[in-house]
């Protein structure tokens, strides 16, 4: 079950996106909004789903004599940027176990999350009120679109090695970090990962 690290709502959202506030405050997840995970289009041996993943930690020899397929663990993540400025993803931190007690894994990532755009004029926007044109007193619509960043690295071979001796199913907190020209933002979601010696032989 995924969850978002939101602690403010309503009028606070308007203040957050209009002011472009950030720097890891409680309204970060209202600006950098995590939407969901999926594994569509990723060719890998591990299984990743919306709320959980099965991660193979040991490569075996198959009955055919060939090596078992063994890959990095990748995932697609979808976000919505609710402010005007574009955001740039820079890092993902995966904390395994309570407060990252088993492992804290950091990977650098990239990707641009488009901010709001007016549908009636060429302008960045946070709210509909930003979309007033010189030719009309009625504002247009400020459109915030979802962006999917594909094949984000969760676990590489060295990360998997850590769990050879502590296989099991764990609650994981995945935190994404992004920035605009002025501020830093972060948003977190819960995930469940099973680390085990899965049989991926054909």
What are 41-70's pLDDT values in tens digits? 999 999 999 999 999 999 999 999 999 999
In this predicted structure, what is the pLDDT of residue 70? 98
Domain assignment of residue 107, given as a range: 11-196
In this predicted structure, what is the pLDDT of residue 7? 29
Q: Would 6 be classed as within a structural domain?
A: no
Q: Would 103 be classed as within a structural domain?
A: yes
Q: Would 112 be classed as within a structural domain?
A: yes
| Cβ-contact 144, 119 below 8 angstroms | no
| Cβ-contact 176, 31 below 8 angstroms | no
Q: Would 201 be classed as within a structural domain?
A: no
Q: Would 84 be classed as within a structural domain?
A: yes
Residue 67 DSSP one-character state: B
Q: How many domains does the chain have?
A: 1
Q: CA-CA distances (angstroms) from residue 107 to 38, 50, 120?
A: 19, 20, 39
In this predicted structure, what is the pLDDT of residue 23? 34
Q: Would 178 be classed as within a structural domain?
A: yes
Q: Would 202 be classed as within a structural domain?
A: no
- In our burial notation (b when 16+ CB lie closer than 10 A, e otherwise), range 175-190 reads bbbbbbeebbbbbbbe
In this predicted structure, what is the pLDDT of residue 73? 98
Instruction: Collect the ranges in the chain with pLDDT lower than 50.
Output: 1-26
Nearest to 23 by CA among 188, 202, 183, 196: 183
DSSP 3-17: -------THHHHHHH
Q: Would 44 be classed as within a structural domain?
A: yes
| Cβ-contact 120, 138 below 8 angstroms | no
Which residues, in sequence order, are bridge partners of residue 74? 153
In this predicted structure, what is the pLDDT of residue 136? 77
Q: pTM for the complete prediction? A: 0.84
């Amino acid at each position: 079950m995924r969850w978002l690290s939101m602690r403010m709502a309503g009028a606070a959202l308007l203040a957050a996106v209009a002011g472009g506030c950030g720097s890891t405050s409680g309204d970060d997840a209202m600006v950098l909004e995590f939407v969901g995970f999926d594994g569509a289009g990723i060719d890998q041996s591990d299984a990743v789903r919306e709320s959980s993943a099965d991660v193979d930690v040991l490569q075996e020899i198959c009955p055919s004599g060939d090596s078992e397929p063994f890959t990095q663990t990748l995932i697609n993540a979808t976000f919505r940027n609710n402010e005007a400025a574009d955001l740039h993803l820079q890092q993902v931190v995966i904390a395994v176990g309570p407060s990252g007690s088993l492992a804290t894994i950091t990977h650098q990532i990239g990707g641009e999350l488009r901010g709001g755009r007016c549908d009636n004029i060429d302008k960045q926007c946070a709210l509909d009120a930003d979309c007033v044109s010189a030719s009309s007193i009625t504002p247009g619509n400020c459109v915030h679109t979802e962006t999917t960043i594909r094949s984000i690295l969760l676990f590489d071979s060295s990360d998997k090695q850590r769990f050879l001796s502590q296989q099991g199913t764990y609650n994981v907190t995945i935190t994404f970090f992004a920035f605009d020209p002025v501020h830093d933002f972060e948003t977190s979601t819960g995930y469940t990962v099973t680390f085990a010696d899965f049989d991926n032989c054909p």
